Amino acid sequence: MSDQTQAEIDAANAVFWNNLCGSHLAQMLGVTDDGLESLGRYDAWFFALYPYLLDHAPVAQFAGKRVLEVGLGYGSLSQKIAESGADYLGMDVANGPVAMVRHRLAQAGLPGDAVQHSFLDNGLPDASFDAVVAIGCFHHTGNVQRCFDETWRLLKPGGYAHLMVYNRYSHRRWMQSRQLFLRELLAERLGLLKSARASRRERAANDRTLAGEAAPETVFLSVGEVKRRMRRFSAVRVCKENMDDSDDPKWDRSRVLPTWGRRMGLDLYITARK
């Protein structure tokens, strides 16, 4: 793990993620404002790029439910959750995503709110949510186990967590370093695997600013690790998803998502019941 304190990791994340996750996509689409038309165009592309997302974050089931979303990015999923009729609260360690979600809610006339806060010290009461959604957030916090534990604490009995973390055994990691891939696979089978901070190269390959700065903190998890870390939950299901052009520019994304994406995808999507 990082030799930084949790406060230092939180501070670094607050600065890094103030530049909205998804800014590369917005730049590619020519989205330069936050009006209804521009955000609608961004969202249409976003959900087409990740066609499986709403299968793992089933917003249609959130109507009338108290839902917490952690890690807000450009707010595409946030708006979908609020539109579903959920009692929505968003949380992010950085101000930029919080401001974007508040803007989206106000612009669309939707109820709900978003707050800037570290999820690791959120101050929310026990058993206060029917669902917790965190897509691509927990592996950046510096304490994945505490994130899972906080999720369990905040959920009502029978409540659901809908999460995504990075896959330790993805095709991208195999191509980047087969030696590291095999070493970690062997260590896990021997019961010696430890969760460690990713190198700068790996962090930048997954998340970087428009200027090329790597995310301050990233870890990768296996399916087995997720299930062991979430053993307090009554049921845990993990699915692999996602491949992109950086894995192989010749690939047709629509063809590899349901094939290699399900075998060695970049991401692990988790559905867990308390």
Dump pLDDT digits (tens) for 221-273: 999 999 999 999 999 999 999 987 665 667 788 889 999 999 999 999 999 99
Alpha-carbon distance of 200 to 218, in angstroms, equals 9
Alpha-carbon distance of 214 to 237, in angstroms, equals 30
Strand partners, 241: 267
Strand partners, 271: 162, 237
> Maximum Cα–Cα distance for the chain, whole Å?
54
Tokens of 37: 């038309």
Picking from 155, 126, 136, the residue whose alpha carbon sits closest to that of residue 20 is 136
- For position 245, what pLDDT does the model report? 62
Q: Global pTM? A: 0.94
In this structure, is residue 239 part of a structural domain? yes
In this structure, is residue 168 part of a structural domain? yes
Instruction: Tell me the DSSP string of 174-239.
Output: HHH-HHHHHHHHHHHHTT-----PPPHHHHHHH-B-TT-PBPS----B-HHHHHHHTTTSSEEEEE
Query: Tens of pLDDT along 259-273?
Result: 999 999 999 999 999
Q: Tokens 């009338």 identify what position? A: 64
CB 17 within 8 A of CB 158: no
In this structure, is residue 110 part of a structural domain? yes
In this structure, is residue 1 part of a structural domain? no
Summarize the confidence of residues 43-72 as an average pLDDT.
Answer: 97
Q: Where are the beta strands (DSSP E) in 39-111?
A: 66-70, 87-92
CATH number reported for the structural domain that contains residue 71 in this entry: 3.40.50.150
CB 94 within 8 A of CB 13: yes
Domain total in the chain: 1
129 CA to centre of own chain: 18
Alpha-carbon distance of 103 to 241, in angstroms, equals 30
CB 111 within 8 A of CB 81: no
- Structural domain containing residue 200: 6-273
Report the percent of the chain where pLDDT is more than 90. Answer: 82
In this structure, is residue 34 part of a structural domain? yes
In this structure, is residue 132 part of a structural domain? yes
Backbone phi, psi, residue 14, to 5°: -60, -35
Tokens of 5: 């304190």
